[in-house]
Structure 1
Amino acid sequence: MFEILTSPDAWVALLTLTFLEIVLGIDNIVFISIVANKLPQKDQRKATNIGLLLAMVQRIILLFAISFLIGLNNPFYFVQTSWFTAGISGQAIILFVGGLFLLYKSTSEIHEKVELPEHDEDAVKSKNITSFSKAIVQIVIIDFIFSIDSILTAVGMTNGIGNKPADALILMVIAVVISIIIMMAFANPIRVFINKHPSMQLLALSFLILIGFMLIAEAAHLSHTKFFGQEIGAIPKGYLYFAIAFSLLVEFLNIKMRKKETLKEQG
């Protein structure tokens, strides 16, 4: 069942996906923290932990549901014109719609974080939370919204990995569980780090644009789409891993250099 873990590509995908799940879950942590802070001090930590546990359960359920839908790879409708042909399947539709959603979501989030930095916090603060149960209900809703792009990111990162349909699902579940456990253990330090280095969050959102484009290309490839006789090919995931790893390396070097410059100015 866990033979996929013997593959180096699987470990690279798992590590990359776990990191992305953590970074993309920062908004979730911030929202939960804002909601929990409206509760009495004794209930705040409890609400945060319950919120993250609910996020993990929701994401695993969504993983199974989306993985089942993606398994529907037999075309049920064919489009044939003089310049465009494609065999539409349930798998292609899920990947295509998911890719469009990630492109829209990531672009909108980048716009809000750059142009409207107080948008997310104001949206939650506008809600009047007066009880623990109301806080949990709102956290559940927030978790569900953030689970959608998180799961689509996981699907985009692991689609096509392994020889068995369950291989990608195993990697996704492991990544989600690890990321939630890490977020529960380091929720506050992670939130402080990202707030201190907002470029990391923008970088993660930029990765979403890449993954969204890859999902759309993958949908076209799986449906054997042809434009003017040219079939759309698959994008090797190694290119995506390299781009993400290189970008992260550059950003960590930038953070280290800025820290050194700050220390010099203070000294």
Structure 2
Amino acid sequence: MSEILTLFSDPTVWAALATLVVMEVVLGIDNLIFISILTNKLPAHQQTKARRIGIGLALILRLGLLGTVAIIARLTNPLFTALGHSFSWRDLILVAGGLFLVWKATKEIHHNVDPDHGPDMFEGSKASLGFASAVGQILVLDLVFSIDSIITAVGMTDHIPVMVIAVIVAVSVMLLAADPLARFIQANPTVVMLALGFLLMIGMALIAEGFGAHVPKGYIYTAMAFSALVEALNMLSRRAKKKR
């Protein structure tokens, strides 16, 4: 306990904690959008429960990964070389997660834009997505985002207590924002397509990262913020027209 008090008496530690909390919250947006879209396909009485389980699993995964920081750090060691790039376990996980996101977002977009997708396209109806299937898919993306988050955190600070606090704060914010975000997405069909576009972009960025092409996160989130701003203006315009 005295070591922790001594640690947090250092102003640089507080600065690192604040930076890490912001970074973890921003990185959690990707995960939260996916959870919101997926759980909205469940029956209404299961949606909140699925979100809480999904976000709870994200917390458990990240805290568990923090307990194996030495192993996580080794995930960046090269395994083999192909196409002029040395692939590590982290690269393979990012590529697999990116492909999963692109596949999932593409199927969702097809389901939303095809007026005659048939009774069996994309599991048929909203209620046909099983609870266990939804939680399983959330767990897959939780793992990808958690590994990327922890590796980024390890690069920012060497202090485990700082990482633990940042993860807990970020996941708590996700938990508070999950239901309002899901309701907002469900109430605004055009926002669903925008969010799916975000998932496609994030999936492609993960694949590019896995192949060694670093895409600055600032570019991605600036594009997302700009798109969200344009959509907000469109929503205000539609409301004004309805009032008139």
TM-score, normalising length: structure 2: 0.71
Residue of structure 2 equivalent to 1:214? 205
1-side partners of 2:97 and 2:231: how far apart? 28
2:85 alignment partner, SS class = strand
Distance 2:192 2:166 in 1: 23
Q: What is the aligned partner in structure 2 of residue 146 from structure 1?
A: 138
- Alpha-carbon deviation of 1:102? 1.5
Distance 1:146 1:261, change over 3 A: same
Quote how far apart the aligned CAs of 1:159 are.
Answer: 6.4
Structure-to-structure mapping, 1:118-197, within 5 angstroms: 122-123=124-125, 125-126=127-128, 138-149=130-141, 152=144, 160=152, 162-164=155-157, 174-184=169-179, 186=180, 190-191=182-183, 193-197=184-188
Contact 1:54 1:140 in 2 (8 A): no
Asked whether 1:78 is paired with 2:58, we answer: no
Shift of 1:14: 4.5
Looking at structure 2, the residues matched to 26 and 51 of structure 1 have their Cα atoms a distance apart, in angstroms, of 10
Q: How big is the alpha-carbon RMSD for the aligned residues of Structure 1 and Structure 2?
A: 3.6
3-state DSSP of counterpart to 2:78: coil
Q: Which amino acid aligns with 2:18?
A: T
User: Any residues of structure 2 matched to 1:197-212 within 5 Å, and which?
Assistant: 197-212=188-203
Structure 2 unmatched ranges of 5 or more: 1-12
User: Normalising to structure 1: TM-score of the pair?
Assistant: 0.66
Secondary structure, counterpart of 1:235 in structure 2: coil
Distance 2:80 2:96 in 1: 17
Equivalent residue number for residue 237 of structure 1:
217
Equivalent residue of 1:76, what SS?
strand
- Residue 58 of structure 2 is matched in structure 1 by 59
- What is the letter of the counterpart of residue 78 of structure 1? T
1:38-59: CA deviations, max 9, x gaps? Answer: xxxxxxxxx6554333222222
Q: Map residues 87-126 of structure 1 onto 2, 5 A cutoff.
A: 87-115=86-114, 116=117, 122-123=124-125, 125-126=127-128
Distance of aligned partners of 1:5 and 1:66 in 2 relative to their CA distance in 1, 3 Å threshold: closer
**Contact 2:34 2:199 (8 Å CA) reproduced:** no
State the 1:172 CA deviation: 5.7
CA distance in 2, matches of 1:59, 1:195: 23
Partner of 1:234: helix, strand, or coil? coil
**Identical pairs, percent:** 26
| 1:108 partner letter | K
Q: Name the amino acid aligned to 1:97.
A: A
1: distance between equivalents of 2:147 and 2:238?
35
Would you say the 8 A contact 2:17–2:163 is kept in 1? no
